[in-house]
Amino acid sequence: MAIESEVLVIGGGLAGLTSALSAARTGADVRLVSYKQSTLRSASGLVDVLGYTHDGEGPVTDPYATIPELPDPHPYRTVGIDAVREGLDLFDDAVPNYQGGHTDTNALLPTHGGTIKPTARYPASASAGLASDTRDLMLVGLESMTDFDAPHAAAHLDAAGVPFDVRGVTIQFPGDLRADAKVTRYAKLLDTNGEVTVRGRDRPAREALAARVNTELDEEERVGFPAVLGDDHAGAVRADLADRLSADVFEVPMGPPSLPGLRLEDALFAALDEAGASIETGNPVVDFDGEDRIERVYIEKNGAEIPNTAEEYVLATGGLVGKGVQSDREGVYEPIFDCHIPHPADRYDWFENEVFGDHEFARFGVETDNDLRPLDGGGDVEFPNLRAAGSVLGGYDLAAEKSGSGVSIATGYAAGRSAAQEAV
Amino acid sequence: MLTPNGDKMASAPHIAVIGGGSTGIGIARDLSMRGLDVTLVEQGNLTHGTTGRMHGLLHSGGRYAVADQASATECIEENRVLRDIASHCVEMTGGLFVKRPEDTEKYFQEKLAGCEECGIPAEVVSREEARAMEPHLAKDIDKAITVPDGAIDPFRLVVANAASAMEHGARIETHTTVTDLLVEDGEVVGLEVEHDSGSGKRVHGTEGGREEIRADYVVNATGAWAGRIGEMADVDIEVRPSKGVMTIMNVRQVDTVINRCRPKGDADIIVPHETTAILGTTDEEVEDPAEYPEEQWEVDLMIDELKELVPILEEARTIRSFWGVRPLYEPPDVGSDDPTDITRDYFLLDHETRDDLPGMTSIVGGKFTTYRMMGEEISDHVCNQFGIDADCRTADVPLPGSEKFSVLRDYMDEFGLRSPIGRRSVERLGSRADEVLKTTDPNPVVCNCEGVTRAEIQDAIEQSGSDLNAVRIRTRASMGNCQGGFCCHRMANELHGEYDESVARQAWDELLAERWKGQRHALWGEQLSQAMLNYALHATTQNRDNDPADGEPVDFAAFDAGSTPAQSSGEAGVAADGGTEHGD
């Protein structure tokens, strides 16, 4: 017998999790299935909504004032500004340790590359790093962590004209972590406050780290570290370090593997679990039945294809990175339902010659009607009970606009709500 | 020239060599080892022209054994020399000439006979034997011929030659463009050059400048660009540049060089190269060696033709494609229509006898595998101009990195590097491994795809200044599957300290641009997914596409300054969330 639910969400990234949460809170019986690790662990953990205009102007202060200027179709235009706001309300409610909801104005956060990035929400762990805060700042890098060079990032921030003095120091992490230690190794050590050996003496890791940083600290009121400050007990790690340094402590968001991204993923899964959804991870949707409507999908598990049926389906499988959109030399396709993905016939029209050109491939994804239902090549709805959310949607360049998280949240919210309303 | 006790004579003639490819650098090494005073200028990085854009084949000569036996014989001779003097640049993979049912038996036999005539060790192997060597060969091949083809890293080879030349007193100037030849009384007496960023190692932002380099003799070793130099002194050098595409796969589908056993044709070779395999190539004449179309059909042709030999190429992932321009030359009276008919031989054009312009010789044509031999011949020619009788030693003295050395030592323990990173570092560095890797500081990996550590990057920075593309070709950092997605910023980080932030930023931008160039030709399937990930990492996470340091000033006060009293009042406080026990 098939596994049944009212709404079945395919995909466990930001869009899928938001869809499932939105559907569950609308009152539907929801099931979420996801296959591979989501792209959240590659993302910085910052939740951007819109940082730059379609023409690359910015950073913009107010994303809501800029959304109406976006070209149509754009996922924000499809769901409307209210859905963006309501989606973020849902996010704020589900993920308590994020900030930024007190204002419509974008925040600017330092990146590990030494630039600043506009974002609408940021983890509490990053909040003391706000670039509009005028307090002087010290960045601390770890000698064997090549992803973040604190003096380099500080000099780069200075060149960006930040309104405070910033300098960077590089220290050896207390103890003897191997040169290629993973970020989770540092985080775990700080979480457990495990003993490290410094000049022959065993000391708790947090104390030893703070002692080392204190030898470098001048008058700075805030200190930034690469995002390795704890995993399960991140707040406590920061509070402890802040106390010992008499300064605010924050994390600089990093690239993959990203602890802030992983923490966000955990928080969303916890919220979804609390909302009563059923969750199955690690197995792919490989096939489906249905001509006019999707009757059921098949999930491959230990070599068997298990049918799952639902009234309504949400496709939140990601874009090119998440493999919800795939390609070969002949063209671009959506691998599960074979939804139409508009793209130029000539592969050499998919990209521009400049590295940060206006790349067509960045906008690859399904086109939808106003209810986020994918359209076929003729402009008709592919399946009346299939909606799409997040990066599987086309028509926007998340990297140039800095809109990836916001689109996932807004379209996830709208698709989940609509699917639930239809199903219940 | 050397005195009997080995000192350089005060009167050594000064030779200016134009071109930092394999030919020019081979000449510079040879002449400086013979005691001459050498200055080499190159408009880009070392290997910037054709040398850095070849398939990395160390020819056995087998490819020329039917149609061009003179070239084939030279190839096998130099193949043996390079295995000896450049062991850290060479991987003796062996090669196969594979016959498919549609390829003629007649040509197969001609190839076999040709190899024997040229002294190229060759043996026939059955389909089963060939497929035991290379399991991914097509099931329906007939048979194959084994030859001693190999893989060679052109970057490493040229850098090692440059290091040797500098040890012998040569001056090497990269990013230095020849703007004119100095001609006095009908004789070439030197060069006028423009330095992009001062002389010596390249440092971004350093003011450039003009320089007159007086020389007793000039050697034009600019390959496909030779005509440009000739024009400066009104002499005609009819180089016929011919482009060829090479497509890089993400893994080594084969560990042996695979050639198609048929007469000249496009897309007939696969060369295993480091962690990749390179498919080649095409042969099409172009007008301008710097500006020519790079087209989709060329890439598609590589895959569609070579999958006949190795079927899994059809579904495999390519990480980029690049084009090179052969500096083909034929004497004006030959007049071949088809570039594939033009000889691969090289020509020494003495402009005194040819154009009544003393003081300069050009070398054109030829192949990478025989670069040393070309260098020897032109060095002999130069020495003759000055009546110098000095022996060529380039075939006998190993290059730096290939000196007495056993890779069997356990470097992993010695340098605290984990396998396979230690092994790969040592393979790249050869006998320089000690000097480069012995450090008491932490030595983390900077490029994960290619296993390149900080010590190796720092060594390359020391050699090449602030140029990250020069660091790249020395170390292979950013040349693996992710094509720099995960390591370009790390490489820029490694520059900072020695160089200031604005220099590091320019070098970083250049590296990103260069890495993008070749990836454009691999944008489908896995690599398009990788490209989107890289784009998101660089533009979303790092915001490098809108770097505020490059743009208009940002009005920081107009943005969110935080929601807590500590942030708005400017007082230090505890962590903003008060320290919950939950992760965030």
Whether B239 and B501 have beta carbons less than 8 Å apart is answered as no
Q: Which of B497, B560, B579 sits opposite A132 (nearest CB)?
A: B560
A-chain residues within 8 Å CB-CB of B444? 144-146, 179-180
Q: Which of A105, A151, A250 sits opposite B497 (nearest CB)?
A: A151
Q: CA-CA distance, A149 to B496, in Å (whole number)?
A: 8
Residues A41, B512, B401: CA angle, nearest 5 degrees: 100
CB contact under 8 A, A133 and B574: no
**Do B301 and B322 sit in the same domain of this protein?**
yes
Q: What is the pLDDT of residues B539-553, one digit of tens each?
A: 999 999 999 999 899
Whether B207 and B469 have beta carbons less than 8 Å apart is answered as no
**Mutation for testing the A interface, residue in B298, B495, B552, B584 having most A CBs under 10 Å:** B584
What is the nearest CA distance from A65 to chain B, expressed in angstroms? 14
Q: What is the pLDDT of residues B299-331, one digit of tens each?
A: 999 999 999 999 999 999 999 999 999 988 888
Q: CA-CA distance, A346 to A76, in Å (whole number)?
A: 28
In a domain, B402, yes or no: no
B-chain residues within 8 Å CB-CB of A100? 560, 563
In a domain, B59, yes or no: no
In a domain, B80, yes or no: no
Whether B520 and B571 have beta carbons less than 8 Å apart is answered as no
**Do B229 and B111 sit in the same domain of this protein?**
no
Q: Which of B559, B564, B575 sits opposite A108 (nearest CB)?
A: B559
- When pLDDT is cut at 50, 70 and 90, the band that residue B151 belongs to is very high
CATH 3.40.50 placement within chain A: 112-252
Given this model, what pLDDT does residue B10 score? 55
Global confidence as pTM? 0.90
**Do B316 and B355 sit in the same domain of this protein?**
no
In a domain, B570, yes or no: no
CATH 3.50.50.60 placement within chain A: 3-100+261-315+380-417
**Mutation for testing the A interface, residue in B540, B550, B571 having most A CBs under 10 Å:** B540
Q: Which residue of B has its CA nearest to A133?
A: B561
**Do B133 and B174 sit in the same domain of this protein?**
no
Q: Which of B500, B535, B584 sits opposite A124 (nearest CB)?
A: B584
What is the nearest CA distance from A1 to chain B, expressed in angstroms? 36
More confident residue, B161 or B4: B161
Q: CA-CA distance, B520 to B509, in Å (whole number)?
A: 17
What share of chain B has pLDDT > 90, as a percent? 77
CB contact under 8 A, B528 and A320: yes
- Both tokens assigned to B192: 């006028």
Q: What is the pLDDT of residues A208-267, one digit of tens each?
A: 999 999 999 999 999 999 999 999 999 999 999 999 999 999 999 999 999 999 999 999
What is the nearest CA distance from A159 to chain B, expressed in angstroms? 5
Given this model, what pLDDT does residue A220 score? 97
CB contact under 8 A, A133 and B501: no
What is the nearest CA distance from B564 to chain A, expressed in angstroms? 9
Helices B154-167 and B22-33 sit at what angle, rounded to 10 degrees? Answer: 30
Q: Which residue of B has its CA nearest to A360?
A: B532
What is the 3-class SS of A122-174, one letter each residue? Answer: EEHHHHHHCCCCCCCEEEEEECCCCCCCHHHHHHHHHHCCCCCCEEEEEECCC
The total of structural domains in chain B comes to 3
Distances (CA, A) of A342 to A360, A364, A375, A379, B390: 10, 7, 10, 11, 68
Whether B137 and B309 have beta carbons less than 8 Å apart is answered as yes
**CB-count exposure of residue A14 (10 Å: 0-12, 13-18, 19+):** buried
**Do B193 and B145 sit in the same domain of this protein?**
no
Q: CA-CA distance, A40 to A260, in Å (whole number)?
A: 9
What share of chain B has pLDDT > 70, as a percent? 92
CB contact under 8 A, A321 and B581: no
Instruction: Name the phi and psi angles at B548, rounded to 5.
Output: -65, -20
Q: What is the pLDDT of residues B171-194, one digit of tens each?
A: 999 999 999 999 999 999 999 999
CB contact under 8 A, A127 and B523: no
What is the nearest CA distance from B559 to chain A, expressed in angstroms? 5
Q: Which residue of B has its CA nearest to A55?
A: B546
B-chain residues within 8 Å CB-CB of A269? none
Please give the mean pLDDT across all residues of chain B. 90
Handedness of CA A377, A379, A384, A386 (dihedral sign): positive
Q: Of A243, A260, A242, nearest to A251 (Cα)?
A: A260
CB contact under 8 A, B541 and A361: no
Report the Cα B258 to chain-centroid distance in Å: 21
**Do B32 and B165 sit in the same domain of this protein?**
yes
**Do B253 and B193 sit in the same domain of this protein?**
no
Q: Which of A146, A361, A362 sits opposite B454 (nearest CB)?
A: A146
* Confidence check: pLDDT of B284 > 50: yes
Given this model, what pLDDT does residue B7 score? 47
**Do B292 and B218 sit in the same domain of this protein?**
no
Q: Which residue of B has its CA nearest to A135?
A: B570
**Do B444 and B480 sit in the same domain of this protein?**
yes
Q: Where are the beta strands (DSSP E) in B127-268?
A: 143-147, 150-152, 171-173, 176-184, 187-195, 209-214, 217-220, 239-249, 257-260
**Do B453 and B528 sit in the same domain of this protein?**
yes
Q: CA-CA distance, B430 to B305, in Å (whole number)?
A: 36
Q: What is the pLDDT of residues B193-224, one digit of tens each?
A: 999 887 778 888 778 889 999 999 999 999 99
Q: Which of B501, B523, B540 sits opposite A155 (nearest CB)?
A: B501
Instruction: Name the amino acid, one letter, at A417.
Output: R
What strand order describes the sheet that includes A222-226?
A: A166-171, A137-142, A222-226, A248-252
Q: Where are the beta strands (DSSP E) in B229-380?
A: 239-249, 257-260, 269-273, 276-280, 284-285, 318-329, 346-350, 360-365
Instruction: Name the amino acid, one letter, at A294.
Output: I
Whether B455 and B437 have beta carbons less than 8 Å apart is answered as yes
CB contact under 8 A, B444 and A145: yes
A-chain residues within 8 Å CB-CB of B543? 111, 113, 115-117, 402
In a domain, B574, yes or no: no
B-chain residues within 8 Å CB-CB of A156? 501, 505, 549
B-chain residues within 8 Å CB-CB of A107? 559-560, 562
According to CATH, the topology of domain A3-100+261-315+380-417 is FAD/NAD(P)-binding domain (3.50.50)
CB contact under 8 A, B556 and A111: no
What is the nearest CA distance from B346 to chain A, expressed in angstroms? 35
A-chain residues within 8 Å CB-CB of B489? 112-113, 147
What is the nearest CA distance from A421 to chain B, expressed in angstroms? 32
Q: What is the pLDDT of residues B42-76, one digit of tens each?
A: 999 899 889 989 999 999 999 999 999 999 999 99
Given this model, what pLDDT does residue A243 score? 97
CB contact under 8 A, A356 and B544: yes
B-chain residues within 8 Å CB-CB of A402? 540, 543
Q: What is the pLDDT of residues A135-194, one digit of tens each?
A: 999 999 999 999 999 999 999 999 999 999 999 999 999 986 777 778 889 999 999 999
The residue range of the domain holding B476 is 439-546
Instruction: Name the phi and psi angles at B213, rounded to 5.
Output: -110, 105
Instruction: Name the amino acid, one letter, at B500.
Output: D
Query: So what CATH class is A112-252?
Result: alpha beta
* Confidence check: pLDDT of B248 > 70: yes
B-chain residues within 8 Å CB-CB of A326? 525, 529
| Domain end among B546, B562, B578 | B546
Q: Which of B493, B576, B581 sits opposite A233 (nearest CB)?
A: B581
Q: CA-CA distance, B112 to B121, in Å (whole number)?
A: 9
Given this model, what pLDDT does residue B434 score? 84
In a domain, B433, yes or no: no
Q: Which residue of A has its CA nearest to B516?
A: A355
Given this model, what pLDDT does residue A1 score? 62
CB contact under 8 A, A162 and B445: no
CB contact under 8 A, B489 and A112: yes
**Do B446 and B527 sit in the same domain of this protein?**
yes
**Interface confidence (ipTM) of the complex:** 0.97
A-chain residues within 8 Å CB-CB of B548? 59, 115-116, 160-161
Q: Which residue of A has its CA nearest to B498?
A: A152
Q: What is the pLDDT of residues B450-494, one digit of tens each?
A: 999 999 999 999 999 999 999 999 999 999 999 999 999 999 999
In a domain, B458, yes or no: yes
In a domain, B64, yes or no: no
Q: Which residue of A has its CA nearest to B488?
A: A147
CB pairs under 8 A between A and B: 302
Distances (CA, A) of A405 to B156, B218, B411, B541: 44, 61, 45, 12
Q: If you average pLDDT over residues A97-115, what whole number do you get?
A: 97
CB atoms within 10 A of CB B356: 9
| CATH number (domain holding residue B271) | 3.30.9.10
- Both tokens assigned to A192: 């457990």
- When pLDDT is cut at 50, 70 and 90, the band that residue B572 belongs to is very low
**Do B541 and B445 sit in the same domain of this protein?**
yes
- Both tokens assigned to B63: 């490819």
